[in-house]
Amino acid sequence: MTEPAPETSDLGASPGASVRRLLRGAARASLGTLDESGAAYVSLVMLAVDHDARPLLLLSDLADHTRNFARDPRVSLLVDGTHGMASPLAGARATLMGRIERADAAHQLARYLARHPDARGYVSFSDFNLYVVRPERAHLVQGFGKIHWIDATDVLMRADPELPLAAQEEDVVAHMNEDHQDAVQLYATRLLGQPAADWRLSGVDPEGADLVAGTRRARLWFDKPVRDAEGARVELVRLVKRARQVSLDTA
């Protein structure tokens, strides 16, 4: 599936926020596990993230990496934001280190399938399960000399037991796709510089919205985090006004 490089234009953002931007903008990652001899084993995985930015992975029990972390749940996950750069070592990338476990929440699976609709073809297979990586720390490199070790508490969104957006996400996405398709097209073409296509929202989280059109993906960032559907509505209205102004300015 064609995808742009993860969004990394976050000058002034904290290191933790920069890691979240990489995670939310990426659709794939490299998963590091330990095999039965203790040797490092790295594999390609498709990535989605939960509302708090914890990575979500749909994996087969038959895969070597799954057998590896069944013995030892310690994993590393590399998210690369340097795709397409002439000097990749000057770009941003982050390694998360933590532990992996089964994920059972319905909204987590829904977010993964919205991010990777082709996974619907095998999600019902008995050997496929959804997992969540619980980071303990992260290592961010943003170019030469710009290196940070970060505690997971600075990467993940603050826990809010009353945060309702996860439960409201499906309704927000359906409303935008069914009633405001013109706005979604403007987000993609005017704000994100994407070609005209059948763009649709695939998800919304406290920091922005994900857009898809066939094999293309794009990420729309909010100016400030939101906690519920009303906050998301305010940001989406503000962004469509900005997109329409861009249209007028370029007419």
Give the residue range(s) of CATH 2.30.110.10 domains in the chain: 15-155
C-alpha span between 47 and 56 (Å, rounded): 6
What is the pLDDT, as a whole number, of residue 1?
45
Q: Residue 160 has what pLDDT?
A: 66
Question: b or e along 34-56 (b: 16 or more beta carbons within 10 Å of the residue's beta carbon)?
Answer: beeeeeebeeebbbbbbbbbbbb
Residue 133 predicted with pLDDT over 50: yes
Confidence bin at 6 (pLDDT 50/70/90)? very low
Q: In the predicted model, is pLDDT for residue 5 greater than 90?
A: no
Mean pLDDT of 40-55: 96
- The pLDDT tens digits of the residues spanning 189-243 come to 999 999 999 999 999 999 999 999 988 999 999 999 999 999 999 999 999 999 9
The backbone torsions φ and ψ at residue 26, rounded to the nearest 5 degrees and listed phi first, read -95, 155
**% residues pLDDT > 90 (the chain):** 82
Q: How far is CA 122 from CA 18, 59, 108, 113, 172, in A?
A: 33, 10, 16, 11, 27
- Residue 177, pLDDT > 60, answer yes
| Of 174, 182, 213, nearest in space to 197 by CA | 213
Confirm or reject CATH 3.30.460.80 for domain 15-155, answering yes or no: no
CATH superfamily of 165-250: PNP-oxidase-like (3.20.180.10)
The confidence score (pLDDT) of residue 96 equals 98
Closest C-alpha to 109, from 59, 183, 40, 34: 59
Domain with CATH 3.20.180.10 in the chain: 165-250
pLDDT exceeds 60 at position 4: no
pLDDT digit string, tens, across residues 53-110: 999 999 999 999 999 999 999 999 999 999 888 999 999 999 999 999 999 899 999 9
Question: Which tens digits make up the pLDDT trace of 142-169?
Answer: 988 899 999 999 999 876 666 789 999 9
